[in-house]
Amino acid sequence: MTHPLWAPWRMDYILGPKPDSCVLCLPPDDLSHDEERLVLYRGKTAFVIMNKFPYNNGHIMVAPLRHVMDLPLLAAEESTEIMELLKQCTTILREFFKPQGINVGLNLGEAAGAGIRDHLHFHLVPRWNGDSSFMAVMSETRVIPDHLASTYTKLKPLFARLRPGQPA
């Protein structure tokens, strides 16, 4: 038995043009599309972006600004900033969403589940007891309770207060 789920924002992806370039590579001096791309924060060597196809509400990613695909290829400065952003993102997600847990992960390579295998990125996914309800178990469907644009608007001010090297 199928269970339809209305998700009108997916039509933009289905009908829209697919980029030939890396979807995680940001133009360095052009911030004009950051809201459209769901970029929450740009640091010196890394950035925070919302996942356009989230596993759960509040699913965000931390990635290096430089196009790099493997951990050993990160410069020390990139590794440090990414770890600091992961810590700060965890604080913000806990504050805003009040989850009972957070999955933090990195998929290296297609076999490991990397959907964007050529640009390293860490996932942070807020979790709540029972969020894998009957929808996910019975019909392999996730319910995202807030529209991406609405969540972005709510989260953006929290990321605006971030300063490199400072706690959230």
33 is catalytic: no
Catalytic one among 33, 67, 121, 147?
A: 121
Helix (H) or strand (E) holding 122: strand 122-127
Which residues have CB under 8 Å from 6's CB, separation 6+? none
Tokens representing 19 are 């980029």
123 is in an annotated binding site: yes
147 is in an annotated binding site: no
| DSSP 8-state class, residue 118 | T
Which residues have CB under 8 Å from 79's CB, separation 6+? 71
Binding positions for substrate: 51, 123
For the annotated binding site, the residues are: 51, 123
> Which residues have a catalytic role annotated?
121
